[in-house]
Amino acid sequence: TRYGEVENVEFNSDGALGITVYHQNRKGSASSTDLSPQAIARTVQAALDIARYTSPDPCAGVADKELLAFEAPDLDLFHPAEVSPDEAIELAARAEQAALQADKRITNTEGGSFNSHYGVKVFGNSHGMLQGYCSTRHSLSSCVIAEENGDMERDYAYTIGRAMSDLQTPEWVGADCARRTLSRLSPRKLSTMKAPVIFANEVATGLFGHLVGAIAGGSVYRKSTFLLDSLGKQILPDWLTIEEHPHLLKGLASTPFDSEGVRTERRDIIKDGILTQWLLTSYSARKLGLKSTGH
């Protein structure tokens, strides 16, 4: 919605199948959004044809059998909600209206939005693994523009969860959206100094994203990371520990297995500032003589 008027209502229902085959250490992949038996047969044949013409790689292959998630835990990810179009429109409009009414400096809006997603993921391979799970994701957001002394700023706020009951109210979303937008007005320059810095959570995520990229197996075996020789060494302050918890119930990033079917596990990535893990796929693990970590 924008200014309470409906701008867009969408409903999408789609699916896709992807297949990867290995033939004499040669890899071929293909995908299709047509799930008819004939289309699936064509997709399999396409993957086989590609594999015949790729270069052999001794590190290519299905994930090691002992690492696979033959039993996938229930992570409480599926919470369907019967939200009608009218109810979704009302939620979006309330979030937008709450932001517009928060302060007279809020002068324009880019609207409010509500989304609800249902998904099904199934994975199988030639080691006999066949597992799947359902998940849901619901979100509500608003974006507005504030103006003061000729300065205009834009920001947004959102709430997201696996279950509708986990979402904040539309009024909370609107108020937070207004607060964040107003806080951008009248910025000040700082002189050069050494000072503690507190990063907002959305900025902190980006910072940790750079760390994840630097310790990903692909970067390590290509020797394209600045942390190449840092495994087991101190790279961050000793008060900082970063843990991976992929089995948190209702977690937005929780998953019982990775894209290769390797089971996920709780891990210390950084322990007291010391790098303890590379993040490895099966391929990058083999390149490094290690085991996949389910990434």
Quote the CA–CA distance of 139 and 126 in Å, as a whole number: 37
The tens digit of pLDDT for each residue in 256-290 reads 999 999 999 999 999 999 999 999 999 999 999 99
Residue 3 has pLDDT above 80, yes or no: no
Among candidate residues 273, 266, 265, 264, the one with its CA nearest the CA of residue 232? 273
**End-to-end Cα spacing for the chain:** 38
The tens digit of pLDDT for each residue in 91-110 reads 999 999 999 999 999 999 99
In one-letter notation, the amino acid at residue 189 is K
Residue 50 has pLDDT above 80, yes or no: yes
The residue with tokens 């843990």 is 243
Q: How high is the pLDDT of residue 205?
A: 84
Q: What proportion of the chain, given as a percentage, has pLDDT over 90? A: 88
190 token code pair: 């700082």
Confidence band, pLDDT 50/70/90 cuts, at residue 4: confident
Quote the CA–CA distance of 266 and 268 in Å, as a whole number: 7
The residue with tokens 């980006």 is 206
The tens digit of pLDDT for each residue in 122-152 reads 999 999 999 999 999 999 999 999 999 889 9
Average pLDDT estimate for 169-174 = 98
Residue 59 has pLDDT above 80, yes or no: yes
Average pLDDT estimate for 186-198 = 91
List, in order of start, the domains of the chain with CATH numbers: 1-61 (no CATH), 85-182 (3.30.2290.10), 201-288 (no CATH)
The CA angle 177-83-168, to the nearest 5 degrees, is: 30
Task: Tell me the pLDDT of the chain averaged across its residues.
Answer: 95
Confidence band, pLDDT 50/70/90 cuts, at residue 199: confident
Confidence band, pLDDT 50/70/90 cuts, at residue 63: very high
Q: How high is the pLDDT of residue 201?
A: 83
Quote the CA–CA distance of 66 and 64 in Å, as a whole number: 6
